Amino acid sequence: MNIVNILEEIEKVDGEIYERLSPRRNAMKDFYNIGKKISLAALPLAMGSMFQKAYGQTNPSTVNDVLGFALALEYLEWNYYNKALTLANTTYIPDGPARAAITTIRNHERAHVDLLKGALGITGADGYVYADFDFTAGGGFADVDTNYQTFLKVALAFEDTGVRAYKGQAPILKGNAVLTTALQIHSVEARHAAHLRQMVAANVTGASGLKPWIAYSANGNDTGIAAVDAVYAGEQNTTQAGIQITGINGTSVTQSQAAECFDEFLTGAAVKNIANLFIKAGKKLT
């Protein structure tokens, strides 16, 4: 691994990388000394430390809190999909496109876990394992391990929660380089949610009209699953930046259209309340 080449590539998109760290000569000396003192395996952590110095905001503890919060959500999703794919009943998630899609989503969530662990400097075993979760939510989804329709309902709730959670935490990460990473994960979670909505529409009784995006309903929840109302609270909003979108400037924009064309965020507290329904005592988010 040629550190100088890596820095040259970074310099193409950030001409001030050296000044962020220290004057160029000192920075190159630092990099040279690092290369002599550490092993190849340890190099990513060392580089991460230097980039934290270059791009970190003034309150890294707050950033770490957000990343830790996001990591817990990714653990929840990864364990959920991974367990479902290992159940003995192969008809639980049907072979073919359905199993392939869930496998892809599961692998994405694992990549998100590993990326966030790296960003936090966490090595070793995972902080959450399957035994730390109750995916029945205290019995509310009692047949989640045997009923494919229930599996899809819970999966969609997780993905729609994830999209709104990342959106809600983005302002806290403003000015920090990890915002880019969070937004990259956010967009993938949104694609997961859209795909799962199509799977729910095709497979869940009474859900054939579900759209790939969150449609208008009186309480924000367009899924018809009352147990996940909290996931969609506020999605019925039709006001943006203090402006009423319905009928804006005399147009024919309806209430449904006004609500559908904007997504809303969830606060950290709201997301924790939702996630904690599926996390066992002793590991709940605080």
Give the chain's domain count.
2
Cβ neighbour number for residue 261 with a 10 Å cutoff: 12
How far is it, in rounded angstroms, from Cα 10 to Cα 5? Answer: 9
175 and 253 co-located in one domain: yes
Q: What is the pLDDT of residue 173?
A: 83
Residues 146 and 210 in one domain: yes
* Segment 169-223, tens digit of pLDDT: 888 887 777 888 888 899 999 999 999 999 999 999 999 999 999 999 999 999 9
Q: Is residue 281 part of a domain?
A: no
Indicate which CATH number applies to the domain containing 171: 1.20.1260
Query: Does 102 map to a domain?
Result: yes
Domain-embedded: residue 73: yes
Whether residue 282 lies inside any domain: the answer is no
Tallying the residues shown for the chain, one arrives at 286
Last residue of a domain, one of 55, 77, 93: 55
Same domain (yes/no): 101, 196:
yes
Q: What is the pLDDT of residue 60?
A: 52
User: Do 103 and 162 reside in the same domain of the chain?
Assistant: yes
Per-residue pLDDT reduced to its tens digit, 33-64: 544 444 444 445 444 555 444 444 445 558 88
**Residue 37's domain spans which residues?**
3-55
Q: Is residue 242 part of a domain?
A: yes
- pLDDT-derived band at 6 (thresholds 50, 70, 90) equals low
Same domain, 64 and 83: yes
pLDDT surpassing 60 at residue 235:
yes
Between residues 231 and 64, the one the model is more confident about? 231
**Does some domain include residue 285?**
no
Alpha carbons 47 and 70: distance in angstroms, whole number: 22
For the chain, strand residue ranges (E) read: 239-240, 243-244
Q: Indicate the pairing of strand 239-240 with strand 243-244.
A: antiparallel
122/37 same-domain check: no
Q: Is the pLDDT of residue 21 over 50?
A: no
Residue 131 lies in a domain: yes
| High-pLDDT (> 70) share of the chain, % | 77
Q: Max CA-CA distance within the chain?
A: 68
121 and 38 in one domain? no
User: Minimal CA–CA distance to 80: which of 160, 142, 145?
Assistant: 145
Q: Are residues 29 and 112 in the same domain?
A: no
Same domain, 252 and 166: yes
CA nearest to 190, candidates 214, 216, 217, 223: 214
**pLDDT over 80 at 25, yes or no:** no
66 shares its domain with 49: no
Co-location of 147 and 35 in the same domain: no
Residue type, 186: H
**Cα-Cα end-to-end distance for the chain:** 40
Classify residue 283: in a domain, yes or no: no
Range 256-283 average pLDDT:
94
Portion of the chain with pLDDT greater than 90, in percent: 65
Domain final residue pick, 55, 78, 99? 55
